[in-house]
């Protein structure tokens, strides 16, 4: 059960992935390094989650995140990727990203086409926006984690 690990606070550097997110899915995901992925609590189930995220100590935005093996792409490496629900003017590889993971949405799935994966991601985004507006999860936008120096 993943409930025990939530809320989960994670921070680290944004690293390069395979560059598929923006180009193929129209959904850029800021990836954490393998070091961060390996440090995740064992009991955290793979799957799709939502929460809050900041880049280089900037504003705290809603995010939707995928942790796991990306079965649609036959992934051989576990990844943790964060799609921030905000338009950034530029890329931010190398930036410091903080995330607060709050709610499990669904397991990772396989799809028959890339369009089905894109449609599912759109649905995840809508569900995340709504979930994070609920006061119990909205309060984390102002959590001290996002303003601390450590």
Residues serving a catalytic function are 81
Query: For the stretch 103-116, what's the b/e string if a residue is b when 16 or more beta carbons lie within 10 angstroms of its beta carbon?
Result: bbbeebeeeeeeee
Show contacts with ligand ADP in window 69-88 (CB under 6 A).
83-84, 86, 88
Q: Which does 70 bind (CB under 5 to 8 A by kind): ligand ADP, Mg ion, ligand RBF, none?
A: ligand RBF
Nearer Cβ to ligand RBF (129/142): 129
Which positions lie near Mg ion, rule CB under 5 A?
Answer: 17, 21, 29, 31, 81
**How far lies 128's CA from each of 36, 90, 125, 131, in Å?**
23, 24, 5, 5
Cβ of residue 132: shortest distance to ligand ADP, in angstroms? 15
The DSSP letter of residue 43 is T
Q: What is the rounded (10 degree) CA torsion for 66, 67, 69, 71?
A: -30
For the chain, where are the alpha helices, taking DSSP H only?
20-25, 34-38, 114-133, 135-138
Q: Which residues bind ligand ADP (CB under 6 A)?
A: 14, 16-22, 28-31, 83-84, 86, 88, 91-93
Q: Which residues bind ligand RBF (CB under 6 A)?
A: 17-18, 20-21, 27, 29, 48, 64, 66, 70-73, 81, 83, 108-109, 121, 124
């Amino acid at each position: 059960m993943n409930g025990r690990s939530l809320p989960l606070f994670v921070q680290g550097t944004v690293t390069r992935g395979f560059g598929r997110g923006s180009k193929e899915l129209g959904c850029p995901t800021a990836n954490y390094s393998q070091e961060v992925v390996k440090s995740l609590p064992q009991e955290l189930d793979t799957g799709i989650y939502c929460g809050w995220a900041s880049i280089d100590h900037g504003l705290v935005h809603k995010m939707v995140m995928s942790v796991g093996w990306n079965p649609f792409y036959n992934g051989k490496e576990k990844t943790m990727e964060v799609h921030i629900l905000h338009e950034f003017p530029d890329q931010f590889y190398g930036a410091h990203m903080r995330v607060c993971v709050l709610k499990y949405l669904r397991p990772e799935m396989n799809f028959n086409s890339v369009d089905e994966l894109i449609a599912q991601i759109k649905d995840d985004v809508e569900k995340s926006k709504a979930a994070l507006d609920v006061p119990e999860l909205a309060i984390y936008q102002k959590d001290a984690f996002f303003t601390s120096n450590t």
